[in-house]
Every structure is written in C-alpha cells, then in structure tokens.
Chains A and B, each alone.
Chain A
C-alpha cells in the first residue's frame, strides 16, 4: 500500500525535478505529453488570440455526436 502511494508521487517528483538526458524514454514521454497538450487542447479553452474553435477535441466530440 505504501508503494502504491509513493509511486505516483515519485513520478510527479521526477517529472518536476527533471534530470533525464535527451533521447531517453522518459524524454519521449514528456515530449508526447507536451505535444498532446499543444495540439489537443481546444484553442477556445485557452482563449488563444490567433486561433479559434475546439480543435481535434471538438472534431472528436462532433464524431461522437456529443453536444458542447
């Protein structure tokens, strides 16, 4: 039980206190997370001054016929 609590905390700490080199799998995970945030977050949510709409998330919601 102690391990289950400490693992997410350790992951968060390692992401915050970054000591990994480039071209490691940890670096790849961070890059993927950043790209997901940049490309998937709807510009409207961020109040983007130069882009508008819901982006890929809006497209996905439309595909699923979800009202928003």
Chain B
C-alpha cells in the first residue's frame, strides 16, 4: 500500500461512521451538499480575518459533508442527475468562497502581489473544473492533470494549519495551469484521433 493510500484508508474509518449515521437519519444527500457550502463560507470568513487554524478546523468539517454526500446518495440509491449537477455547482461556490476569503485577507494587508497570485490560482482552479466538464461533453473521459479538487482542499488545510498559505497558493496556481493545459492537450488528441476519415 502506498503512503497516500494508507492515509485514505485510515481516514475512511471515521467517515464510515458518519456515512452510516446520515443513512440511519435519512438525511438527503442534496442537503448534505448545501450544508457543506455554508460551512465552507464560514471557513472563508475565518481565512479573511487571518484566523487560519480556525479556518482549517472548519474546512475539515465542511469537507466531510462534501465527501459523504456522494457516498450517502450511492448507498441509499438516491443518485440523481440533478444531484450530480447540484454537487458540481455547489463545489464551485465552496472553492471560490475560500479563495475570496484569502483575497480579502491579502487586500486588507495591502499585498497586491498575493491578491493577484490568489486570483490567478482561483481562475485556474475554476478552469480545471470547466475544462473537464466541457471536454466530457465531447469525449468520454478527461481525467488527466494532478491538481483536482481533493488536492486543492487538502492543500488549503495544510496551508491553514501550518501557516504556509502563500506557498500553497503558488502550488495550486502553478499545478492548476498544468492541469488545464493537460486537459486541453488530452481533449485535442482524443478529438483528433476520433476524427472520421474524409469521404473519397
């Protein structure tokens, strides 16, 4: 088992208990999704005022909701097309809220450089999701690139708990640029390969 696989395995134990509790209480997956974004807004508020550790703890709670909504939907056979759409849309709000919290903080500290770095990281984080969604309307799957949402969220938490948010913004920004590029290249290749032969 790999190092990251082991961490995932260990974290799954408490999450399993929470998932079972949600199933027993018959909580709708869409409600879990919505509660997740509200808690993420609270985390963004803490980031905006530079209270990183509090933000980190709130992000953990918010992302438990984010993580379990899909699992609860699958296990209660409540998966719907709207649920998938709702989850994707709400996830974007959660992402943007955290970035806006940081942009507010850096602008109140009069650090235009980090306002720009965070804004660019936000732009490419959103483009990461958009390129995949748009690509998958043209090709079957476009799951390439490293910096997806779970990686971003874990990096936000690491940055918050260890007060290394500047380094985290650089990592998210640069790797999100690569991820968007990967998806464009991959989609171009797939569409080129799938181009029908011209009729003679």
Quick check: A17 and B168 within 8 Å, CB to CB? Answer: no
Asked whether any CB of chain A lies closer than 8 Å to the CB of B67, the reply is no
Which chain A positions have C-beta within 8 A of B8? Answer: 22-23
Quick check: A38 and B2 within 8 Å, CB to CB? Answer: no
Q: Which of A18, A31, A47 makes the CB contact (< 8 A) with B182?
A: A18
Quick check: A28 and B185 within 8 Å, CB to CB? Answer: no
Which chain A positions have C-beta within 8 A of B175? Answer: 34
A residues 13-49 near B (Cβ < 8 Å) are 16-19, 22-25, 27-28, 30-32, 34-35, 37-39, 41, 43, 46-49
Asked whether any CB of chain A lies closer than 8 Å to the CB of B44, the reply is no
Shortest Cβ gap from B67 to chain A (Å): 14
Using A38-B158, A38-B159, A39-B164 as known contacts, say yes or no to A46 and B4 having CB atoms under 8 A apart.
Answer: no
Which chain A positions have C-beta within 8 A of B144? Answer: 17-19
Quick check: A47 and B166 within 8 Å, CB to CB? Answer: yes
Quick check: B2 and A30 within 8 Å, CB to CB? Answer: no
Asked whether any CB of chain A lies closer than 8 Å to the CB of B83, the reply is no
Q: Across the two chains, which residue of chain A brings its CB closest to B110?
A: A49
Q: How many residues of A sit at the interface, in one of the four size bands?
A: 20 to 34
Which chain A positions have C-beta within 8 A of B104? Answer: none
Which chain B positions have C-beta within 8 A of A34? Answer: 155, 171, 175
Shortest Cβ gap from A61 to chain B (Å): 18
Which chain A positions have C-beta within 8 A of B165? Answer: 48, 50-51
Which chain A positions have C-beta within 8 A of B186? Answer: 17
Which chain B positions have C-beta within 8 A of A39? Answer: 162, 164, 167
A17-B185, A48-B164 given. 20 additional CB < 8 A pairs? A16-B178, A18-B146, A19-B144, A22-B5, A23-B4, A24-B2, A27-B4, A34-B155, A38-B158, A38-B164, A38-B168, A39-B162, A43-B164, A43-B166, A46-B166, A46-B170, A47-B114, A48-B166, A50-B163, A50-B165
* A residues lining the B interface (CB < 8 Å): 16-19, 22-25, 27-28, 30-32, 34-35, 37-39, 41, 43, 46-51
* Pairs A–B under 8 Å by Cβ, sample size 6: A16-B178, A18-B146, A19-B144, A22-B8, A38-B158, A43-B166
Nearest first, the 7 closest Cβ-Cβ pairs linking A and B are: A23-B5, A48-B166, A18-B146, A49-B111, A38-B167, A28-B3, A51-B163
